[in-house]
């Protein structure tokens, strides 16, 4: 039976295998990229899987779930932009996948990683454009000038493919140092949005039953319970 390692244990493994500088940087990116995949998994469970889930959301708390959708979407775009940023911004170092090759001594691995990162930077331009002109900054021309350059196209497919490519960076180093990899489909939780959807579905069913009891006059003791949640 497998055991779950603590965050500190995983960090120590990374540092022991890669050295302090590379291991520390890799561990930070590893955690950030997994966290991004968790958020994307929840987003897709809620908004990109079934029409019946959208209907359930709209029947339950449509405005709240609209806010969740917007906040998650923008947060994921920010996350992609952040970990694909240049090594330095205004003279200050960033935690970014672009910094990883600088700490590698294996030239073959370094060349392979640089090639992958170049592809990622090109294919994630949309995230930095949205971050720079809409999310982190409210660009004047974009908002006022009808002739302004429009924002880069972004959709679920582009985000999904970007996250898959970014995970390849992690897997390239995991494979080299640990002979193992991570599968995107395994980065899920049983206590996230899917668990919430089950509660909402059960709640909707109980609401329907409650309305039927009201109409027929067959009440339960708890039906008149006015205690606040």
Helix (H) or strand (E) holding 92: strand 92-93
User: What average pLDDT does the segment 168-182 reach?
Assistant: 97
Closest listed residue to residue 28, CA positions, set 7, 47, 45, 5? 7
DSSP state of 88: E
Q: Is the pLDDT of residue 229 over 80?
A: no
Q: Is the pLDDT of residue 14 over 50?
A: yes
Tokens encoding 139? 């660009």
Show me where the domains of the chain are located. Answer: 7-217
- The pTM score is 0.91
User: What average pLDDT does the segment 3-14 reach?
Assistant: 93
**How large a percentage of the chain has pLDDT more than 70?**
95
Give me the pLDDT at residue 210, please: 77
Burial (0-12, 13-18, 19+ Cβ within 10 Å), 18:
buried
On average, the pLDDT of the chain sits at 93
Q: DSSP string covering 106-152, please?
A: -HHHHHHHHHHHHHHHHHTHHHHHHIIIIISS--HHHHH-TTSPPPP
Q: Using one digit for the tens of pLDDT, what is the confidence trace for 45-76?
A: 999 999 999 999 999 999 999 999 999 999 99
DSSP-derived 3-state class of residue 187: coil
């Amino acid at each position: 039976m497998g055991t779950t390692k603590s965050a500190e244990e995983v960090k120590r493994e990374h540092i022991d295998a890669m050295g302090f500088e590379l291991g520390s940087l890799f561990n930070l990116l590893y955690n950030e990229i997994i966290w991004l995949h968790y958020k994307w998994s929840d987003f897709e469970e809620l908004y990109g899987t079934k029409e019946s889930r959208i209907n359930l959301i709209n029947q339950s708390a449509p405005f709240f779930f609209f806010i969740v959708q917007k906040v998650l979407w923008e947060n994921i775009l920010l996350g992609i932009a952040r970990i694909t940023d240049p090594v330095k911004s205004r003279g200050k170092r960033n935690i970014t996948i672009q910094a990883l090759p600088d700490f590698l001594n294996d030239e073959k691995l370094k060349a392979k990683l640089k090639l992958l990162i170049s592809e990622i930077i090109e294919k994630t331009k949309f995230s930095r454009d949205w971050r720079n002109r809409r999310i982190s900054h409210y660009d004047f021309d974009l908002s006022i000038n009808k002739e302004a350059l429009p924002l880069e196209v972004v959709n679920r497919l582009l985000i999904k493919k970007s996250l898959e490519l970014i995970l390849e960076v992690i897997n390239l180093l995991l494979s080299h140092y640990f002979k193992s990899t991570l599968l995107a489909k395994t980065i899920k939780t049983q206590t996230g949005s899917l668990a919430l959807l089950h509660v909402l579905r059960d709640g909707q069913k109980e609401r329907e039953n409650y309305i039927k009891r009201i109409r027929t006059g067959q009440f339960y003791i708890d039906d008149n319970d006015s205690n606040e949640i």
